[in-house]
Amino acid sequence: MITTHSPSFIDLSKDHTTIIRAEKDARNNIGATTLYRPDQAQLDSDDKENLKLINLFDSHISEAFFGGQVLVVEGDTEYTAFNYIKSREASAGNNDYHSLNVIRARGKVTVASMMKVLNHFKSKYYVLHDTDRQTVQSRVKDKSASTNDQVVYRLTTIANPAWTNNGKIEAQMSGFSRVVASVVNFEEAYFSEVIDSDKPENCINRLKSDPDSYAVVKQLLDGVLEINGAQLPCGAINWSNVQELDAAVKSWDSKVTVLPEA
């Protein structure tokens, strides 16, 4: 048995890790709660591998075991944006996010694995991820048309693997989870732009320089956490089945027109 205040000692990929949280209440009474037992969580080999890899990149994910509000986000952009808002609001005297732990899953599959663990905490937690699109275009080499001097590719439409992972998130929904999705992705939903690189930097620059962008992302955070009855902004959906995501993306794309370069 190890007692610690450090999340660095917690390794969810180990079968022998049982986690008990001891804490004082407002009257200084000490209570203990068993948060997690691996035999009850029934993590499969893929879940363990996902959690092992994310722990290598972000050991702070284990801070979720130390109390406070837990918000699992899919990527770096949301993680950066929400922590910036948390810091900026705290500097202005707003303590709404004082106990918030933003957990960066670094992928939709790992979001589902984290949800499987968090369901055993038996306390409310929050999730924000991208819907992605149902299909994507892929380049496939045309061997018959290619030569030693020229490689020819054909564009083909395939099922988007990221879309199918929405079903894995749905499978882990529980009475303890509130799951919100950004329609297509964070940048399209709230900034009306498509960014392929440097997304966190672009996001922070927008939040620092554009009051409207700051307001909509703050509204998103408040809406996800249900702070003071805040409503989710346009582009965000609180969902419970994949059919809702399918309808939301189709509706979103029906209103979009892409013009060629002038």
User: Domains of the chain: which residue ranges?
Assistant: 45-254
Residue 203 binned pLDDT confidence (cut-offs 50, 70, 90): very high
Map residue 119 onto helix, strand or coil: helix
Nearest Cα residue to 35 out of 60, 7, 71: 7
Tokens 């509130």 sit on residue: 178
Overall average pLDDT of the 12-17 stretch: 60
Q: How confident is the model at residue 56 (pLDDT cuts 50, 70, 90)?
A: very low
pTM, 2 dp? 0.77
**Residue 94 three-state SS:** coil
Q: What does the pLDDT average to over 99-120?
A: 86
Q: Using the 8-state DSSP alphabet, how is residue 42 labeled?
A: T
Give the DSSP letter of residue 101.
E
Q: Residue 127: its pLDDT value, please? A: 98
**Which residues, 6 or more positions from 19, have their beta carbon under 8 angstroms from its beta carbon?**
10, 34, 35, 36, 65
Answer yes or no: is pLDDT of 236 > 80. yes
Percent of the chain residues past pLDDT 90, beyond the cut: 49
